[in-house]
């Protein structure tokens, strides 16, 4: 599974503006739902918020991966926002977040969900990959950088 298979240009927001973590998550859920044709984004938002309440998904190095599982989502998918101004995400390293990967899917795809989370975490652990993603000017730049990272 490639992360680029879970993402479309319509699910990437650059530049992305949010006042705080809650706003960033809400906007990405709405972006994902609109592009994926999900009529009830509230269910998806609730699932992601419930997961976020357990432990922050700010994984460090300016990256967060909020995620959740919802029956409203037919297939695993992602949305991404590259924040114009970093926001506090209560990240593990205490640093504000610039890049937010939203990952959502149905309960039936729990295994794929975990694999995708792991793949994102592994990729963004590399400073060079993060820098290329942070430098993206638009959705096409971002997808190209992600595709390059996945091919490496």
The residues that are catalytic are 67
Q: Which residues contact residue 147 at a Cβ distance below 8 angstroms, ignoring those fewer than 6 apart?
A: 2, 4
Beta bridge partners of 12: 80
Question: Would you say 140 and 9 are in contact if contact means Cβ atoms under 8 Å apart?
Answer: yes
CA distance 63 to 3: 16
Query: What's the number of CA atoms in the CB half-sphere (13 Å) around residue 9?
Result: 7
CA distance 57 to 67: 8
Q: Which residues contact residue 143 at a Cβ distance below 8 angstroms, ignoring those fewer than 6 apart?
A: 4, 7, 9, 12
Place of tokens 């432990």: 55
């Amino acid at each position: 599974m490639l992360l680029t298979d879970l993402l479309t240009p319509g699910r990437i927001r650059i530049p992305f503006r949010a006042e705080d973590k809650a706003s960033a998550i809400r906007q990405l859920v709405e972006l994902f739902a609109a592009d994926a044709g999900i009529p009830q984004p509230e269910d998806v938002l609730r699932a992601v918020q419930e997961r976020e309440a357990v432990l922050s998904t700010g994984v460090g190095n300016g990256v967060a991966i909020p995620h959740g599982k919802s029956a409203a989502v037919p297939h695993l998918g992602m949305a991404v926002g590259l924040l114009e101004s970093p926001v506090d995400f209560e990240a593990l390293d205490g640093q504000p977040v610039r890049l937010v990967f939203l990952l959502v899917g149905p309960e039936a795809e729990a295994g794929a969900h975990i694999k995708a989370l792991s793949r994102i975490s592994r990729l963004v652990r590399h400073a060079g990959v993060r820098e290329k993603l942070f430098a993206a000017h638009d959705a096409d730049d971002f997808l190209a950088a992600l595709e390059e990272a996945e091919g490496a």
